[in-house]
Amino acid sequence: MASTRSCSISDQPRRRAAGDVDYEAGGSGYAVQRQPDPRITAYIDAALGDARTVVNVGAGAGSYEPADREVTAVEPSLAMRRQRPSHLSAAVDAVAEELPFADDSFDAAMASFTIHQWRDLDRGLREMRRVSRGPVVILLADRHTLADFWLVDYVPDIVRAEQGRSPEIERVKAVLGGPCTVTNVPIPLDCTDGFSEAFYGRPERFLEESVRQAQSSWGFVAPEVAERGVEKLRADLESGEWDRKYGTLRRQPYYEGSLRLVAARPS
């Protein structure tokens, strides 16, 4: 068991969102739409190595938490904590920037699809490094390749918003320090995790409001802008224009998009 400074598992929402998304207002549906994909999980497991105890920072509804390790989840949103399935442990109510654990409490620290939302990126990364005596493993997007995805043709404001939120990978590496590897993670055609690029060959899924609600980037554009983009996509799918441009993606088994895995070991 990790030693703690002041650990709480609260059933009360925070007065102020911990990051740039208010998941108390818009966090429903993540446990359904954002199911961890086993092929992506394999990359995370390999990076964690032989770590037995792991802290999962910004754990959300529990995606990608290893089932065969002792995991301590940290999640500041009550709405997300409530969506965690019953077989996972309750999450600690805390933010990345102030982890309530002593130095070197865990064999490893991990974070998936979360660091772009933190209020103080550097402080959160330093906290992950502080509490881990082994690797720090982070799944994130490469901001420089986000605009390669075809969704930019329909809602370019979403891509610009994501580029603005996503940190430079070199900055992440510099703050974490030590030997660091960056791995391109291919996205499978039938990916079970409903982030945007997961639907590279299944464009019809973007017409579903429940899918869009489980992607925080849609909350950074005006509703009318998002609706125009969705209607343009709908029209292009009906006319066959999308398939004329991008139809080969429907048969492409993997997409080399923006997904990256950073693994930093202590110096």
Measured in Å, how far apart are the chain's first and last C-alpha atoms?
25
Q: What confidence score (pLDDT) does residue 233 get?
A: 98
Q: What is the DSSP letter of 117?
A: G
Q: What is the pLDDT of residues 129-177, one digit of tens each?
A: 999 999 999 999 999 999 999 999 999 999 999 999 999 999 999 999 9
Average pLDDT along the chain: 90
Give which of 165, 70, 160, 161 is closest to 114, Cα–Cα: 165
pTM of the predicted structure, to 2 decimals: 0.87
Instruction: Report whether CATH 3.40.50.150 matches the domain 23-264.
Output: yes
Q: What confidence score (pLDDT) does residue 87 get?
A: 87
- Cα–Cα distance between 42 and 132 in angstroms, integer? 21
Q: What confidence score (pLDDT) does residue 195 get?
A: 93
Q: What confidence score (pLDDT) does residue 35 get?
A: 87
pLDDT at 14 over 50: no
Q: What is the pLDDT of residues 239-257, one digit of tens each?
A: 999 999 999 999 999 999 9
What does the block give as tokens for 74?
């940290």
How far is the CA of 215 from the CAs of 28, 174, 199, 265, in angstroms? Answer: 11, 28, 12, 30
Q: What confidence score (pLDDT) does residue 37 get?
A: 96
